[in-house]
Amino acid sequence: MAAGLAVTAAALAAAGQRGSGEGADRPRLAAAPQPGHRPARAVELVSAPVRIADAETVRLLRPGDRVDVIAAPSTADAGPVGGAAEEPTARVLARGARVAEVPRADRHIRQDGDIGADDGSGVGAGALVVLSVPRATAATLAGAGAASRLAVVVC
């Protein structure tokens, strides 16, 4: 199967290099599907609002940026293992997620200038960013956001 795909790719590359030569005006036929080959299904992307613990990091983001989302459990979640305290482990929840929107935080600025700090309005610490991710990843992010501090790494 791999050899068939390689031959098809080489043929398409060669046909593309022909340019406007003889036969360029003829319609090109798509390669016949291989037996047992299922076409790839498009992944449905959804908008996932995610609260990132460090509001200053969110200020660096722009729509179209790609980020990895990392969950770090709070130190209170790390219990003793075998009598010794164990360092909490961070885990990557999403890789290469596209930033869809960075909502303005100016309406959540407190008198002291702290953006996104909990001032009793229900807005928790950190800042919000909207990511475009597969539906399953959105569910993972929502669940982790309730139990962990989330961070982003710009890709």
Helix-strand-coil split of the chain, %, nearest 5? 25, 30, 45
What is the share, in percent, of the chain residues with pLDDT greater than 90? 43
Per-residue pLDDT for 15 more than 50?
A: yes
Query: Residue range 108-128: average pLDDT?
Result: 53
pLDDT-derived band at 115 (thresholds 50, 70, 90) equals very low
Residue 96 corresponds to which tokens in the numbers above?
A: 């290469």
Q: How far is CA 113 from CA 53, 55, 129, in A?
A: 17, 12, 19
- CA dist., res. 51 & res. 53, Å (int): 6
Q: Which helix (H) or strand (E) holds 4?
A: helix 2-18
CA distance 97 to 108: 25
Give pLDDT, residue 116.
45
Q: Which of 27-36, 93-102, 122-131 has the highest mean pLDDT?
A: 93-102
Q: Which residue has the higher pLDDT, 72 or 102?
A: 102
pTM of the shown model:
0.58
What is the rounded CA–CA span in Å between residue 91 and residue 111?
Answer: 35
More confident residue, 67 or 119: 67
